[in-house]
Amino acid sequence: MMSKHPGTGSHTVTVFVFPGVRLLDVTGPIEVFTTANEFGGRYRVQIASQDGREVITSAGTRLGADVSVDEVQEPCDVLVIPGGPEWETLIKDDALLDVVRQLDENSRCTASVCTGAFLLAAAGLLNGRRATTHWRHAQELASRFPSVRVAPDAIFVQDGQMMTSAGVSAGIDLSLALVEDHYGAEVARSVAKDMVVFMQRPGGQSQFSVRSRAPHTHQQMLRRVLDSVAENPGANHTLTAMARRAGISVRHVTRLFYDEVGTTPARYVEQVRLEAAQGLLETGDDPMPVVARRTGFGSPESLRRAFVRHLGVTPGAFRATFRTAGRGREGSGVHVGAVVVEARVDDEELSAA
């Protein structure tokens, strides 16, 4: 992290906002830093817009600004660059990118939330660095900016003075890590408890949708195979069975998966089965042998190995963490642990290849 010895000094946080910014990308970090002030932190948070006027967020709400960018004279300790749904338009706005560079020059640490990483990358601030973003856009970040080493499953990443976080609420994780760095683990833990969030959430971004990341294909024979896997993950989905279902050769199925889905048939089937198991664990009470059988893993041990390999948590831990909110039990609490710089650091980085 930025410092080895947490202290008691004050820290200035500047949050840059613009029309179409995502509301939680802004308010999540602000809530962390201002809540830290209740437990011994000394943060001064200011919202800066390009001209000092209020902006309309992607949610349609008005968000006031404290200062204009030109009024940000003193160096800030943390600069927060949030994202927005219209990031493709934002990265073509040269004036906006100039503002991001201007603010970065006056900041000791620059941190993006969600698709804010695209603004940093377009401004040239992530060249040669590791970074992450929302799982839905990780491959796009790698493709558009090949000099950025994208870690697709990280909750957040630090590389030098640059920090990037995954989608939306991951900005809270990143901000908690900064609070720990500035004021120690006890303060960060108190903030996490007060906000009823994890100081270290289990697993990485792989715990979120696999099937929604699969591209639409116009190959009808492959579409039949993909649909059959999604409709019944527990069925027989060997390579031979899929080839028979599609009416083509095993070699042709394998080639279609590589070309259209970007992975092997076996890996895709395992990912869909994993997602199906997550759904059963989140919403039901079936014992592990039933979950394993219904989702095609066969045994609880195979299910456990897949969860640990892909998500970094056991099925039992996943169920305890991601159960439907209405299933809370009296006396249960939020488990908090040490903050980490990033989750799943051993994951392969995406490349533009």
Q: Does 349 map to a domain?
A: no
pTM above threshold 0.85: no
Same domain, 89 and 155: yes
Residues 6 or more apart in contact with residue 196 via CB below 8 angstroms = 334
d(CA 280, CA 77): 44
The pLDDT tens digits of the residues spanning 193-207 come to: 899 886 666 556 655
pLDDT value, residue 321: 73
**CB 264, CB 254: distance < 8 Å:** yes
250 shares a domain with 132: no
Domain match, 290 and 237 both: yes
Residue 109 appears among annotated catalytic residues: no
Kindly state whether residues 120 and 261 are assigned to the same domain. no
Phi, psi of 348, rounded to the nearest 5 degrees: -65, 145
Distance CA 102, CA 250 (A): 55
Domain of residue 301, residue span: 208-327
- What is residue 336's predicted lDDT score, i.e. its pLDDT? 30
What's the count of helices (H) and strands (E) in the chain, helices before strands?
14, 11
Q: What angle do CA 190, 194, 196 make, to 5 degrees?
A: 115
Asked if residue 332 is part of any domain, the answer here is no
257/312 same-domain check:
yes
CA angle 277, 282, 286 (to 5 degrees): 65
The C-alpha atoms of residue 90 and residue 118 are separated, in whole angstroms, by 9
Residues 133, 157 share a domain: yes
The answer to whether residue 335 sits within a structural domain is: no
Quick one: 231 and 300 in the same domain? Answer: yes
pLDDT of residue 6: 62
Q: CATH number, domain at 71? A: 3.40.50.880
Within this chain, do residues 213 and 131 fall inside the same structural domain, yes or no?
no
> Could you tell me if 271 and 209 are in contact, meaning their C-beta atoms sit under 8 angstroms apart?
no
CA distance 297 to 276: 11
Residue 266 lies in a domain: yes
Question: Do residues 52 and 169 share a domain?
Answer: yes
For helices 315-322 and 265-283, angle between their N-to-C axes, nearest 10 degrees: 50
Do 46 and 66 form a contact (C-beta atoms < 8 A)?
yes
Map residue 80 onto helix, strand or coil: strand
Please report, for the domain that includes residue 231, its CATH number: 1.10.10.60
Does residue 167 form part of some domain? yes
pLDDT of residue 351: 38
- From residue 269, alpha-carbon distances to 71, 115, 237, 342 in Å are 54, 29, 7, 27
Residues in the chain predicted with pLDDT less than 50, given as ranges, are 4-5, 211-212, 324-353
Options 76, 103, 114, 336, the catalytic residue: 114
Q: How far is CA 174 from the centre of its chain?
A: 10
Look at the chain and report how many structural domains it folds into. Answer: 2
The reply to whether 96 falls in a domain is: yes
Q: Are residues 322 and 250 in the same domain?
A: yes
**Distance between CA atoms of 166 and 135, rounded to whole angstroms?**
7
Are 58 and 98 part of one and the same domain? Answer: yes
Q: Is residue 134 part of a domain?
A: yes
Task: Look at residue 1 and tell me if it is in a domain.
Answer: no
